[in-house]
Structures are given as C-alpha cells and as structure tokens.
A and B are shown apart, each in its own frame.
Chain A
C-alpha cells in the first residue's frame, strides 16, 4: 500500500505563547510533531506493518521541519519529503498548504492519505479535506478506528462525542482524532536508522508552482492572546441565599441562563 501522511511542525503543547510586535515569538521555543499528526503517523505505520507497502511523511514548511520529519522516520516511516517554502512564501494559509500538498500528491497514486484532524496552532482543520477535494478523492475526518481490508475500509469516526461507523473504499483521505492510537516513542535503534532513510527536499519550483498559484486567500489582521482569567468569586452566607445569588449572577452577569 502506498500511504502518505501529512505532517505539521507545531509549538510544543507546554510552550507559553508570547506575542511581540504582532507576531508569536518563536525564539527558544520547543517544537513537536502536531499531536494529531502523530496519531496519523502511528496509524500509517501500523497499517503498513499489517498490509505491507510504504509510508511517506510530507511536510510543508521551513528547514526546521526536518527535525519533525526525522522523528517520524525514527518512529518507523520509510521516506520523508520536505516542501520547503521558507524562501518563497511569507504568509501562507490553509489554501496555500493544501494547494502545495495536492500538487505534490498528484500522480503519486496514494492509496491512503492520513492527516491530523486539526493542527494545535492554526486550528483550522481544513488542510486534510481541502487536499482530498483537490485530488478529487473522498475523505473522512476525526477517525478513531480504521480497518483496511483489500480496497475496502471500515472506519469509526468521532461525532461530537458519539461515534459513527462508515465503510469506504481506497483511495481515501482520513484525519486522525485523539483516541485513534497511542503513538510510539521513537526507539533508539529507530533514531539511528532514521539518519539513513531518504529525506527529499523540494521547493515550489520543483512542483511547477508559482507564488501566485498558492497565494493565501485569507489575511491575518491581528494576533492577540485570550483575556487573562479573572479571579473567581466565593459566595457567602446561608446555603439558600448562596443558591439564589448564584442563579441571579448566572442570569445577569454570566448571562448563561
């Protein structure tokens, strides 16, 4: 099976976000594989191990994303491709990324493409579905289970906490939800082997794309942090007085009832 995984380099979940001059400060921050993409990598490796074939991880980003690709290789992926847009694109968006990925995947005869359900930084959840659309193949999002049998695929997906079972056929794009699996740690032998696995680097030119072809469809107007959490309020007095006050506050102040 020819399996592709779309992978994004994101801030570590433990990083504090600092904004300076209207943009997020990246200096000294730790970066990881987007956690949802990590599920996708793990699932891809498991499917390959049971069905045979090859797993290629693809990332659109800068030079630095090589580290996350190497990590995926250390986990067990076979090949990696970095589409380096550092020099060509200053402000990309979901359209940019999906257009580039689709262009790359065109003609690759992917049987299965896995992506994260959402990236923990941008959080749009659009790239996977857009890529599928551009490639004109079906997609299923937020999956929590997948069984491949020949060209037919059985999937359980998360629907706002409920689950839905779907049958589909390859080729297919799916996006991974939490609960799909427990991603493995890259083992030390895996890390040593990853050094020798192929990691190809491409630029827009190599995909016959111009900057104009992938120009962002959206514009970021402002970046700001959520408001600081206010201190809580402790109600006092007799219990029934407290309950009444709580109800009235929920109604008048919080405006939730």
Chain B
C-alpha cells in the first residue's frame, strides 16, 4: 500500500498514468491479522452456515437471524462501524476479506452483505449523532438487522424516478410515507429499513424506518431463480408514521446517499463475486479429478485443462483488480482525520473518487463469476444439472450479480460518462492526453518488447490504454453531447477500459510478487498474467475496431484503422500451451492457487 507521504492515486487515472507496483495493494500483502480475520470468517461459514444451507434455501429465516447474531458475536457485522458505536472500524482490506469469505455461504452472504453494507452504511456515513447512537450498536451486534429500500416496481436503474412519497403531518412530528419498495433483501426479518421517498413528491430523501412503525408491512416472499437463501420481499408503506428525527441526511439530498451507497455496493459486490468464483472453481476442479471417463480423470483432457486455465486466469484478473481497488480505498480513507471519518462526507467523497473503478469491478468480476459457474456446470456434465451438486446452486446464484447494484449495462455506460465528466471538470487531463496521443501515433514506430518476464504484457497494456484513450477521445470529439445515445460505443469503451484496468492489475501484482519472491516462485502468477493479457488484448482490438468503424468513414477511418494496427501489432503468445501449463498446479491443488 502507498505510504502516507506518497500521493494518492486519482480515480480513473490509470488510463492516462502509469504507476509502479509499489503503489498497488495485492492479495500477497495481507498482514497476519487480516489473514486471521479471513480464517475466522471462513471457519464460521464452513462450520455454522454451510451445514444449514438447505434449510436456508427453504426460507427458514429464523436460522438466518440466529446465524447473523452469531456472526455479530464474532465481530463479523461491525467491520465498517466505528468503535464508539460498538463496531470495530477495521481497515478496508479486512472488511473486504470478510465479504469475500462470506460468498461461500451462497444466498446467506447476501443477507450478511445487505445488512452490513447497504443496510447499515447509510447510517454509518450519513446518520447524525443521535441516529448513530440509537441504531449502530444494535446493528453491529446483530441484535437488529437492516435492509435497504430503493427499488420500486416502476424504478430500477432510474432510481430517482421513485414514486414513494413522504408528507410532514400537521403536527410536524412525523413524515407519512406511502408507496411500495420492491425486491428488498432481508425484508422478511429486518428491523430497520433505509427507505427513499420524495417529500411532497419532489425532494428525494432517505428515512430510517423501523419495522414496528405503524403502516409498515411486507409482502410475500418472492420466488427467485437463485440466492434463495436470502429473503426478498416488497416493503409496503401505507401511511407509515416515521418520526421527523428519522430523516437521514438532508431533505432533498437522498441522491447523495443513494449514489454513494450504490458505489459501495458495487465495490463490495466485486469482492463477493471473487469469493464466489473461487468457490465454484474449487468445486469444479475437484469434480474434474474425481470424474472418470474412458478410464481417465476428465481433468486430464486438454479441453478441460483449457477451461481450467481460462477460469483461473480470469479469477486472477478479477481478484487483482478488486483488491487493487480495495487498496485505493484504504489508502485514501486511512488518511482521513477522525473528524472527517465521523461526518461521513469525506468518506463518501473518497468512495465517489473511485466510482469508475467500482463500476469496472462490478461488471467485470460478476461476468467472471458467471463465466466460471457456467464452465463449472459444463465440466460437471449432467451432474452439474442436478441439484445435489453445489455447482447447480452456484450457477443460479450467480446470475443476479449482473443485474443488481446497477445492471452491468448501466455500469458500462457510467464508465465513459464519468470519464468525460471528470475531463470536463478538469479533474483528469483526458482530452489533452488524447490529443497528444494522436500526434504520437503518427510518429510511432513498431516496438519489440524484450524477453524479460512481463515485457510483452507491459507493452500490451501500454498500448491498451492508448487504444482506450483513442476511442474515448474520438467518440467525445465526434458525438459531443449526443454521445450518450451511442450506447454501443460507450459500452465498447467501457470494455476496453475494463480490460486495460484488469491487465494492468495482474501485471503489477505479478511484478510485485516477482520483486519479492523471484520469478521461479511466481511462475503461476506469470502464466495467468500472460494468458489474461493476451486474451484481453484480443478483445480490446475487436472492441476498438468496431468502435472506429461505427464512428468514422472514408480516409479518416482508414487512417484510424492504420493507427489501431500500429497499436495492436505484437507477436501473440501460445495461450493453449500456457493454459495447459497453468492447469497442472490447479489440478493438483484442487482449488484456486497462485
């Protein structure tokens, strides 16, 4: 992690700036306490939650409540709550590790995540002193459980289009809330709901609503495709009486809370799906070793090895990207003064700074999980289609991750959108860099990267970033304000940027490991890096080409295509051989190892 005197890394800046491996946080940097916290979480899940999963899947939520209470006793609900309110105020890495290890519990991890994350954090960050004192100790211990109510039947991605209304009563003592909040995780048993409603139909505002307030009820349990262990219901507000002191933040400023919490939700989702991916991967490789066909373990077939190698390199990329982002958060937040931490605004600003990274992690890592569970089922063959096998549940549980906390499409659109906003505000010199790049490309001569480890990958990522900049600059120049309608191009740009972020994250992680342990001990990491970078770069080339062709024509297009060719010229590596090689250690270990 960067030390105190170093400059903080600016959100989104990776696309135009290079940083050294010393500035990134990697999973190899966990300290002993963090490892111990991870182990306690792991043991709790394995010994307490996993044996009960079948009951939880059958909606026996009294068990969920008991398990959460037990988790509270161990301190697993208080990571992000300040000590003065009964929490532990842990560093962001420890908190992330709890989230990652909880993923093994399937739908229960959503109950946990919704409680500690989107449920409790609005009060942690935006509550006033009285609200914090009143609610946080009970939330940190698990005595009370929380839920978060933003979505409505008519407003999902368009959160601010909410119809739920709040009206101050004649006495001025209570807001009267009316409306329906849909798909509320933990609704079946939560005691405290953070609810968004519009005061007088206009001012979007957050409220802390207790289950016992008059006029608060919940609908029937939803019948879902996956994450069945989590409770999902409608929260119904019929003249719900909410005391005025339960207004959270400022009237009309609910969007500040909502967007910040969404960012945190995305960030945590990225961490959680890394845990899910590792779990599904482990199950799959174990099965591939056990399952014999033609008197051979199917793990020994090269096409299985191809799948194992691809899955693992993607997991490595997701893990490296996500924990790099965790490190960014930790660096920034550990520099905040006690006062700043207390008022929450500075914390929220730190989160907002990395909105781009949060979105990237969200869609990238959730798609890695979807890829892994899909190939996981495939490797399980017919057995993977049967409910006795955990991979079947993992497959169903995975799907929602691409939908909630902002669909992956919305998150893709947000990436170039946020970039352009940062550029226009002068926070990032994006346009200047893009301009300079166009001239640079004219002069550019093909380069031959050296033979030393990572030389080729560094060359690729450097060009990947240029391609990202080129595409963004071109699109902004060509379409101006109308760019927001060119969603396909925005999405392509997001994919290029995402791949570049992940490429750089794996390279820096591996470079850091090599600097510490040498190449020989970092061989597996190097293989993942080589595989991932090659495949990501191929995708980048595709997305860039499509974008250029859609944007320009004639001579300009020909010139751009030739620029792109310059940037994509390289000697491809033999990924088939690399995947075979990488799979050996994995087949032996029967879990994701680096």
Which residues in A have some Cβ–Cβ distance to B below 8 Å?
16, 28, 67, 70-71, 74, 185-192, 194-195
Contacts and interface: CB of A to CB of B under 8 A. Distances in A.
A125 to B, nearest CB: 26
Contacts of A191: 33, 36-37, 40
B75 interface: yes
Given A28-B593, A192-B88, A186 B33 contact: no
Nearest to A183: B43
A105 to B, nearest CB: 27
28 contacts: A16-B588, A28-B593, A67-B32, A70-B36, A71-B36, A74-B36, A185-B40, A185-B43, A185-B44, A186-B36, A186-B39, A186-B40, A187-B75, A188-B37, A188-B76, A188-B78, A188-B79, A188-B90, A188-B94, A189-B75, A189-B88, A190-B75, A191-B33, A191-B36, A191-B40, A192-B33, A194-B36, A195-B33
Contacts of B94: 188
B19 interface: no
B74 interface: yes
Contacts of B75: 187-190
Contacts of B427: none
Q: Chain B binding site: helix, strand, loop or mixed by DSSP? A: helix
Contacts of B43: 185
B32 A70 contact: yes
B462 to A, nearest CB: 32
Contacts of A187: 40, 73-75
Contacts of B593: 28
B74 A188 contact: yes
Contacts of A28: 593
Contacts of B40: 185-188, 191
Interface string B92-110: 0010000000000000000
A194 B40 CA distance: 14
A122 B32 CA distance: 26
A16 B585 CA distance: 13
B324 to A, nearest CB: 23
Nearest to A189: B75
Q: Which of A185, A187, A190, A192: most chain B Cβ within 10 A?
A: A185
Contacts of B44: 185
Q: Which of B36, B37, B44: most chain A Cβ within 10 A?
A: B36
B67 to A, nearest CB: 13
A192 B32 CA distance: 11
A188 B116 CA distance: 15
Contact of A188 (B32, B35, B88): B88
A71 B37 CA distance: 10
Contacts of A195: 33
A191 B41 CA distance: 12
Interface in B52-107: 73-76, 78-79, 88, 90, 94
Contacts of A190: 75
A191 B73 CA distance: 13
Contacts of A188: 37, 40, 74-76, 78-79, 88, 90, 94
Nearest to A66: B32
Contacts of B73: 187
A195 B36 CA distance: 11
Given A188-B79, A191-B33, 19 more contacts: A70-B36, A74-B36, A185-B43, A185-B44, A185-B74, A186-B36, A186-B40, A187-B73, A187-B75, A188-B37, A188-B75, A188-B76, A188-B78, A188-B88, A188-B90, A189-B88, A192-B33, A194-B33, A194-B36
A188 B76 CA distance: 7
Q: Which of B39, B43, B44, B593: most chain A Cβ within 10 A?
A: B39
Nearest to B75: A188
Contacts of B90: 188, 192
A108 to B, nearest CB: 27
Q: Which of A71, A185, A188: most chain B Cβ within 10 A?
A: A188
Nearest to A71: B36
A187 B140 CA distance: 14
A28 B585 CA distance: 12
Contacts of B588: 16
A67 B33 CA distance: 9
Query: What are the 5 tightest A-B residue pairs by CB atom distance, in nearest-first order?
Result: A188-B75, A187-B74, A185-B40, A191-B36, A187-B75
Nearest to B90: A188
Nearest to B42: A185
Q: Which of A189, A190, A191, A194: most chain B Cβ within 10 A?
A: A191
A74 B35 CA distance: 12
Interface string B550-593: 00000000000000000000000000000000000000100001
Nearest to A190: B75
A189 B76 CA distance: 10
Q: Which of B74, B78, B588: most chain A Cβ within 10 A?
A: B74
Contacts of A67: 32, 35
Interface in B91-146: 94
A194 B79 CA distance: 17
A71 B38 CA distance: 12
A214 to B, nearest CB: 29
Nearest to A18: B588
Contacts of B79: 188
A197 to B, nearest CB: 13
A154 B593 CA distance: 47
Nearest to B76: A188
